[in-house]
Structure 1
Amino acid sequence: MTDAAQAGLEAAGWSIMQDDGFIKLVGPFWHRRSDESYEFAILGEDKHRNRRGVVQGGVLMTLADRSCGMTARAISGADALATVQMDTYFVDAARIGELMVSRPKALRTTKSLIFMSTEIRVDDRIVATAHGVFKVVRDRIDTSTR
């Protein structure tokens, strides 16, 4: 990512989500609050390219999963969630250099499950939709010994 692209995103209110795991390899992922909703984004880079020269579908799936999970965690106040199920529908190709934005919404919450939905857009164009179920996890896995 160029310094100009990063400065443009920061000027628009985006900030980088800090993560030292898988998301660090795929990202950077960006986030911001807007009108009482959460927004998450990733800028298509050369490392996201598939054989057709567009953004690999797995990048969109990762954005959908992480953004829905983070939003579910924020609205539930849960310490940890696990993805139980995720359906992703590819509507259009996202291209290298485009900002893909996810604005997740909770469809229903229960004591132990949160049902989420999101559309991933590039400007006004929908490139993917996703629906997921997230389970509130009571016991976190200790990763300090790894």
Structure 2
Amino acid sequence: MQPSIEQEGEFKGWQYWPEEPFESRAGPFYRKVDDKGVIGAFRAERRHMNAGGSVHGGCLMSFADFMLFSIAWDSFTDGSMGVTLTMNSEFLAAAREGELLTSRGEVLRAGRSVLFVRGMIYAEERSCFSFSGTIKKFSPRPA
């Protein structure tokens, strides 16, 4: 599945995956590559909030899962796919409506069939959520 390029607005030029129905509704989440590596982002809107007025934990976890694959994207150039095996996370600080949430991370190890990834989500400049996870690579079954 290849990403599309946003054509307008704040994230013009960033990549996203319109074929991912859940991520499109939960986010949308965006990624690009800059001189420091992969960066992901989304703008916290009212629909991302919980009753307490901060970004819902499930939204942060969905963004973190998106980032696991965004960070590891280069490991899938052989046509393989992947599924999340594990994801660990820590909530560090609240993110508020209107804030720009960004994320960066790294592949710790890329084995033949399992990838180990970690990253951090920032609300503006504040660290608000750390995550790590493993991805299981597999070849798609013929149709």
Q: Quick check: TM above 0.5?
A: yes
What is the 5 A alignment of 1:89-104? 89-104=90-105
Sequence identity percentage: 28
What is the 5 A alignment of 1:49-128? 49-78=49-78, 79-128=80-129
Change (3 A) 1:91 1:141: farther
**SS of the counterpart of 1:67?**
helix
Flag the structure with higher helix content. 1
Flag the structure with higher strand content. 2
- In structure 2, how many angstroms separate the alpha carbons of the residues matched to 1:103 and 1:76? 18
Shift of 1:8: 3.9
**SS of the counterpart of 2:117?**
strand
- In structure 1, how many angstroms separate the alpha carbons of the residues matched to 2:123 and 2:141? 35
RMSD: 1.9
Change (3 A) 1:141 1:102: farther
Does the Cα contact within 8 Å between 2:18 and 2:24 map onto a contact in 1? yes
Runs ≥4 in structure 1, deviation > 4 angstroms? none
Does the Cα contact within 8 Å between 1:49 and 1:96 map onto a contact in 2? yes
Does the Cα contact within 8 Å between 2:120 and 2:131 map onto a contact in 1? yes
- After superposition, the C-alpha distances for 1:10-67 in whole angstroms (9 at most, x for unaligned) are 3xxx525132311111122122111151111111011111010110011111111111
Q: Which runs of 5+ in 2 are unaligned?
A: 1-7
- In structure 1, how many angstroms separate the alpha carbons of the residues matched to 2:14 and 2:135? 25
Task: Please report the TM-score for the alignment, with normalisation by the length of structure 1.
Answer: 0.82
Shift of 1:140: 4.8
Does the Cα contact within 8 Å between 1:73 and 1:81 map onto a contact in 2? no
Q: Which runs of 5+ in 1 are unaligned?
A: 1-5
Task: Please report the TM-score for the alignment, with normalisation by the length of structure 2.
Answer: 0.84
Aligned residue in 2 for 1:19 = 18
Does the Cα contact within 8 Å between 2:15 and 2:32 map onto a contact in 1? no
- In structure 2, how many angstroms separate the alpha carbons of the residues matched to 1:95 and 1:120? 13
Shift of 1:76: 4.5
- In structure 2, how many angstroms separate the alpha carbons of the residues matched to 1:140 and 1:58? 30
Shift of 1:103: 0.9
